[in-house]
């Protein structure tokens, strides 16, 4: 190429061409947009997902305990001593969750007393703790999960 074929551009006209050309504006704004989306959408969504997975895991541990109860019920549901012995033979933890078992009778909201009433259903309770990143005030820090089923 000859020297006449090369066109020289002054720094002033180059500056004007950059001002007119706005294609680089998105590249400048993108970190702010991504930061906003990450903090306002993804972190709260992650908190809800962690809470959901923990809840499902705790509920499944309770269902596993309920399944064990269905397949090995107390030998004599009319005897409070047999029910107490059965209750003490249940495992204390299932799937890493400590489980509390209660046996309820004839529609009374309190656990069975001495052998005067028949056990009708059992209730298992467990809890898990959360430490949310963003949704600390909306999600529980210690969540309790309960599962109940009738004796068959």
The domain ranges of the chain are 11-150
Residue 117 pLDDT exceeds 70: no
Residue 143 neighbours by CB under 8 Å, 6+ apart: 51, 54, 55, 58, 127, 128, 129, 130
Instruction: Tell me: pLDDT of 130 over 70.
Output: yes
Tell which residue, 53, 56, 86, has the closest CA to residue 69.
86
Residue with tokens 């004796």: 151
Q: How many CB atoms lie within 10 A of CB 136?
A: 11
Give the C-alpha separation, 14 to 30, whole Å. Answer: 25
Q: Give the predicted TM-score (pTM) of the model.
A: 0.68
Which has more pLDDT, 117 or 149? Answer: 149
Q: Residue 90 contacts by C-beta under 8 Å, 6 or more apart in sequence?
A: 65, 68, 69, 99, 101
């Amino acid at each position: 190429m000859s020297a006449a074929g090369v066109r020289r551009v002054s720094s002033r006209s180059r500056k004007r061409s950059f001002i007119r050309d706005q294609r680089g504006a998105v590249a400048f704004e993108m970190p702010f947009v991504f930061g906003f989306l990450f903090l306002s959408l993804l972190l709260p969504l992650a908190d809800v997902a962690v809470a959901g997975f923990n809840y499902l895991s705790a509920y499944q541990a309770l269902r596993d305990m309920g399944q064990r109860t269905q397949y090995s019920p107390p030998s004599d549901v009319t005897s409070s001593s047999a029910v107490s012995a059965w209750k003490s033979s249940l495992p204390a933890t299932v799937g890493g969750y400590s489980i509390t078992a209660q046996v309820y009778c004839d529609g009374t909201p309190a656990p069975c007393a001495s052998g005067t009433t028949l056990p009708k259903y059992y209730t298992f309770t467990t809890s898990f703790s959360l430490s949310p990143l963003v949704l600390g005030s909306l999600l529980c820090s210690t969540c309790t999960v309960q599962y109940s089923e009738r004796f068959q």
